[in-house]
């Protein structure tokens, strides 16, 4: 239906005339090309929008899959963390048990050290390393120097490893006897062999 427009010519009469629009006029070649270009652009835009929606759906699917894999990995991590926590708790319990046993052994060893220290001569006892570790104290008590010093101060002739015994009072050996004994000692020690 054609549009109409009211035109006022004078104040007493009005007439109505139809108004023509560009739609009513036939399109020329340039108009047809412009219309076809607009239609092609609209189709291309719709295709790009659909491609963008498809790509967005693909990205969402990939993200969901990655989130599932991450959740699985986190579950595995949580399982491994739980296993390590269990091992750590077991190791801590074992360490606590070993410490209790070491404390008990130290207590028993300290009693033996005190008994051995009390048996020492007073001069030797005065040099006892009281601040040392119990194992170092035992090593000090067992050292040939300590045992030899204590023995010498007590006046006993007890033979201790590493300290020679008291010589026999029978007198000096002859040179041949001394040479025979020296040769025998060397042969027994493996430093000299008798051919």
* Alpha-helical runs (H) found in 119-127: 122-125
Mean pLDDT by runs of 10 across the 195 residues of the chain is 54 56 66 82 90 92 85 77 88 93 89 88 84 87 83 63 60 72 77 55
Residue 1, pLDDT score? 47
The sign of the CA dihedral 180, 185, 188, 193 is negative
Please enumerate in sequence order all residues whose Cβ is within 8 A of that of 194, keeping only pairs 6 or more positions apart, or say none. 183, 187
Among 160, 161, 149, smallest CA distance to 122 is for 149
| Helix 29-118, helix 134-142: angle, nearest 10 | 40
């Amino acid at each position: 239906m054609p549009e109409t427009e009211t035109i006022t010519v004078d104040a007493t009469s009005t007439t109505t005339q139809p108004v023509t629009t560009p739609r009513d006029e036939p399109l020329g070649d340039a108009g047809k090309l412009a219309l076809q270009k607009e239609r092609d652009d609209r189709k291309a835009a719709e295709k790009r929008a659909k491609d963008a929606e498809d790509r967005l759906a693909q990205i969402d699917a990939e993200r969901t899959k990655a989130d599932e894999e991450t959740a699985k990995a986190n579950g595995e991590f949580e399982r491994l963390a739980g296993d390590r926590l269990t091992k750590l708790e077991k190791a801590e319990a074992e360490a606590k048990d070993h410490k209790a046993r070491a404390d008990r052994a130290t207590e028993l060893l300290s009693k033996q050290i005190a008994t051995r220290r009390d048996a020492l001569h007073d001069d030797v006892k005065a040099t006892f390393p009281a601040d040392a570790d119990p194992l170092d104290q035992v090593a000090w008590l067992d050292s040939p120097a300590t045992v030899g010093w204590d023995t010498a101060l007590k006046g006993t002739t007890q033979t201790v490893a590493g300290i020679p015994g008291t010589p026999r009072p029978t007198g000096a050996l002859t040179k041949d006897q001394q040479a025979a004994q020296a040769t025998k000692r060397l042969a027994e020690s493996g430093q000299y062999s008798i051919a």
